[in-house]
Structures are given as structure tokens and as C-alpha cells.
Amino acid sequence: MSIDRRQFVQACSSVGLSGLFPGALYAQVADEEGEGPPITTDHVAAAEAIAGLSLSPDERSLLVENLNENLNQYEALRAQELPNARAPASTFDPRRGGATIPEVSATADGAEVALPSLDRPGTPEDRAFASLPELAHLLRTRKVTSVELTELYLERLRRYDDDLHAVITYTEERALDAARQADKELDAGEWRGPLHGMPYGAKDLLAVEGYKTTWGAIPYQEQQIDETATALQKLDDAGAVLVAKLSLGALAWGDVWYDATTKNPWNLDQGSSGSSAGPAAAVAAGCVPFAIGSETLGSIVSPSTRCGVTGHRPTFGTVSRHGAMALSWTMDKLGPIARSALDCALVYDVLRGADPKDPSTVDAPFPFAADQPVDAFRVGYLESAFEEDYDNKAADQETLAVLRNLGVDLVPVAWETDVPVAALLNTLDVEAAAAFDELTRSGGTDDMVRQGENTWPNVFRTARFVPAVEHVQMSRLRVDLMEQAHDTIQDLDVLVSPSFGGNTLGITNLTGHPCVCLPNALRPVEEGPDVRRQPGSISLVAPLYQDHKALRLAHAVQQETDIHTRRPPIR
């Protein structure tokens, strides 16, 4: 017997099905009278279409008793408290594809960046848009103080946030205490490193003790988590100064949060994209010199592109996610958003490292040298993707020309994968639905701002229909994808791709490869003031655990170009 999707939904509706399934066959339903067994052979027949099965009447009858027995087990599971922070027993390891963690000498490990010698910039605007190495020099030589910078960035956040809607919570008291402590240490000649005394912002899915952590969503807007995320604790230890918790699309999707839509400083008629909406917008507007974002499937690359800043999505497992909202345990990554690749390198050097509180993390070296020659780099480019018609094509071709002028050997390559990437991305939906299962079952998703087809409430419900067997098969096929991607990139130093072309974004978020999103265009906007622009970007992907190569090549390009230094009109 074959039942199509319409018949399946009708059959489920006829028995009062709420739409929440623990799997295509294991559906918790009740009959219209509230009597008799919850699951009948009719329910089994209806579920067969999604499960990809065709059973005989006898086979359905055999199933019914077992399925009804299983319902009690599911109820027992649902009765257990599972906070968002509780990770599954299995841990994703990107090395399954064949990569290994490189070994380097202790003396080569770490970001080697010379601080420039410069005078104090003449205007607050110039100081606000200075690079991290420049600000580090000014702080270390006491030409500016941490308190001065902290007050500068807090003032800019407040001045522009009525337009940008990038701030969820100011951490002013915490920031000024940290800034005063940094100044005391710097005055005494104590220097913790280039982020000592440096203000910054963090996406509000990262917990900070004593402050709300809203995840951008109405059901959590008063939530307070009494711990500080490992990534932010590392920045505290480096002497950095957290000035604000910045917006994210609700539960890390898009740029719409419970209070507003975060805007693109280059064009205020446009959202900043997401979900690291606030970090990208605040950095672009010169309201913080860097910010911490996260990416599961484009949440650093997309807003960095939209706002014309540089984003670094690190190799999966090199930055601890402890204290961060979990969306997908096997795909979530934390990373820096800044104005340049060099700035990102300095921040990543602080963030990286194994953390016993995050079992996915590893210690991986970071032999980044800002002056390393790149003419010996072997760089692949996705030839067919660059030949397609898309908005940023001209700018991408110019970036390829810059690479050639740097003496880089550009090799045409292709992702030789035969795995259905779109199907594997259902992994994200299922894990997110599990992370927010209680919210869905309690009806809390009804309070979220965005409702409809392409929103979390609908995705969470849809994920309940993914058969458990298919979810396991996704995981198994993901290893095939990891092996195939490794074969493509293992002999390269960097792979260059259109940021949203060639299936690169989906592939590399599933495999865990690092990416640097590099701003390379500011196209005129047809409507609105003449000063408005539409930024564009190109993406540099490195082999696993070789983030330094993508960052070094991006830095080389930015030394030859100036897009990353431009300042948005914010009007």
C-alpha cells in the first residue's frame, strides 16, 4: 500500500496528531475517543511513506504492539531534564576524513605579528577604526588608555545603535572595571599580549556571569546563566575588555531578534544578515575593534559578507564552545569577526586550545607569521564556480588577479564529491530540534518573532519527521564527504571559492574545514543615498588545523587592497 504525503498528513490529523514525531514510525498519537492503543496499523501505514517502507498488513500488525510499548520509553526520556548545554555521548571528529593535526616546534607556535610604531591618531574616529596591532601599540606605549578606548567604543555603540540595533546588553560596569585593571597593569609594565586592554563585543549566545544571555529569542530574553563561556574567559585572561553582548537572529538564524532587525552599516535599509548579526554590524561601524561570532551554516561568512568585514570560521574543535548556546553539536564553531585577517589571527591565537569542558576540542598549533612569503603557496580555485554568473563575479576575478600578482600558483580544482550535501544538512535541523525539544513540545516556539515556513518553529517540527535510521545514515555518509573533501584539499595550502558558490559553504561546515571570509567589493546601491554600498566577499578555505594558511593568504591580499579599511556611511 502506498500513501502519499497529503494522505499521511490527513491520516495524522484525523487522530489529533500534534505534529511532533520522535521518528517517522515512532509517532505519539491518540485516537479521537481517547480510548484504545495510541498507535494503530493505520498510523503505521501513514508513516511508511516517510520511512521509505512498504509493509504488508501482517507486518504492520506485528509492529503495533512494539511501537505502543516504546511510547512509555519515550515518555521516560522526555521526563528527564536535558539542558541545552548537555552534549550527546558521541563527539564529532573532523579527522575521520583523513587529516591529522600538524606538529610544529614550540617556538613556531603562535601568532607572530610585529606591532607598528605610530603616533596617537588625531581623531576619535581614527582611533575607533585603528587595527588591533595599532591599538595594541598605542596601549602598550600608553599613548591611549584602556579606559579611554572602552569609553570611546561604548559611546559609539550608544550613538549608532538606534540605527543598527546591534546591542542586546551593555556590560559597562564589567568593562570599566577590566579597563581600569588593564591600565594599572600596563602602567606597571605588565603586558599580557596584544589584546591587553582591548575592548570587544560578543554574540549573545555566549554566557557571561552576572549578565543576561538571551540567545536573541523571546522565550530566553530574561535568561541568566551563571558562568562565563570559555572563549570569553580566555579573552578575560588575555586582558581584553568586553563592552557589550551583541545581537543574533533568534536562536542563531538570521538578523531578526526579539527586539528588532540588526542593520547593515553600509545600507540601513538592509538587515546585516546573520546569525552573527550584531558582531558584524558593530565591527563594520567602528563600534568595537573585534567581536566573537559563531557559525553553524554561514553565520560568520554571511554577515561578514553583508557588512564588509573579515570573518574567520576556525577548524571545528579548535575553539571551545563551553558556555555557548548549542544549536548543532557536530557543526557549531566560534570565531572572530574583525576588520582584517591580521586582526582575526591575533584573536584566534587567544581563543584556540583544548578545553575539558568541551569534549570536541583539541590542541592544534598556529604557526602564523605575518611576514611569511606566500608565493610558494599552492592555491586551488573552484574554476567552474567562478565561471558562473553571480553578483560578486567581477570583484572575485580581481581578487584572483591579486593572488596571481603575488606570485601564487593558482590551480583549477573541483569538489569531487558524490554525496548529497543538501540531504546531509538535515543533520543541523535534527540536532537543533533536539537542542530545543522542550521549547517545541511546550509551545514556547509560538512566542518567537519569526513564524512560517523558513523559521525555527517549523524546522523544529519538521525535524521530528526525520526517521532515526536516516539520521544515522547521514552521519555515515558524512564520513564519505569528509574523505572526499580531504582528497580535494590535502595537497593545497588554500582553496579559494566564491563565498556562496560551488557548494563550499555547505561542504566545509559539514567537514569542519576553516574559512576566512575576505571583503573584496563595495558595489553601488541603486536606491538610497549615493554613499551607500553593497559589500561582497570571497572565501579562502584551508586544510583542517591549518587556519594560519588561510589567514596568511588573506593578509597578503589585504596588504595589496584597501576594501577592509573603508568606513561605512551608517546613514
In angstroms, the Cα distances linking 342 to 80, 312, 436, 492, 552 are 46, 11, 37, 21, 8
Cell 563600534 belongs to which residue?
Answer: 287
CB 504 within 8 Å of CB 415: yes
Instruction: Give the separation between CA 167 and CA 35, rounded to whole angstroms.
Output: 52
| H or E element at residue 292 | strand 290-295
3-state secondary structure of 409: strand
Kind and range of the H or E element at 37? none
Amino acid at the residue 311: G
C-alpha span between 246 and 293 (Å, rounded):
9
- Rounded to whole angstroms, the Cα distance separating 103 from 289 reads 32
Active site residue 54: no
For the CA atoms of 397, 402, 404, 407, the dihedral, rounded to the nearest 10 degrees, stands at -170
Instruction: State the virtual CA torsion across 542, 234, 334, 374 in degrees, nearest 10.
Output: -20
**Cα separation of 514 and 546, whole Å?**
8
Long-range contacts of 76-79 (CB under 8 A, 24+ apart): 78/437, 78/441
Q: Please pick, among 146, 247, 276, 299, the residue that the annotation labels catalytic.
A: 299
User: What is the distance of C-alpha 482 from the center of its chain?
Assistant: 19
Three-state SS annotation for 161-180 = HHHHCCEEEECHHHHHHHHH
β-strand 290-295 against 333-338: which pairing, if any?
Answer: antiparallel
The DSSP line for 312-332 is EEPPTTSB--TTBPPS-TTT-
Q: 538 in helix, strand or coil? A: strand
Distances (CA, A) of 267 to 162, 167, 255, 567: 14, 18, 14, 12
Residue of 131, 203, 245, 360 marked catalytic: 203
The C-alpha cell that represents 270 in the structure block: 538592509
Cβ proximity of 416 and 487 under 8 Å: yes
**In angstroms, rounded to a whole number, what is the distance separating the alpha carbons of residues 41 and 22?**
17
For residue 90, indicate whether it is catalytic: no
Reply yes or no on whether 275 is catalytic.
yes
- CA 312, chain centre distance (Å): 9
Cell (9 digits) for 27: 509517532
| CA nearest neighbour of 531 among 501, 559, 566, 490 | 566
Write the DSSP assignment of 209-231 as a string of letters. Answer: TTSB--TTSGGGTT-B-SS--HH
- Indicate the DSSP class of residue 525: P
Q: How far apart are CA 399 and CA 340, in angstroms?
A: 15
Point out which residues pair with 524 in neighbouring strands.
533
Of the listed 131, 272, 273, 275, which one is catalytic? 275
DSSP state of 98: S
Which is nearest to 333 in space by CA: 484, 206, 438, 185?
A: 206
Q: Which residues are annotated as catalytic?
A: 203, 275, 299
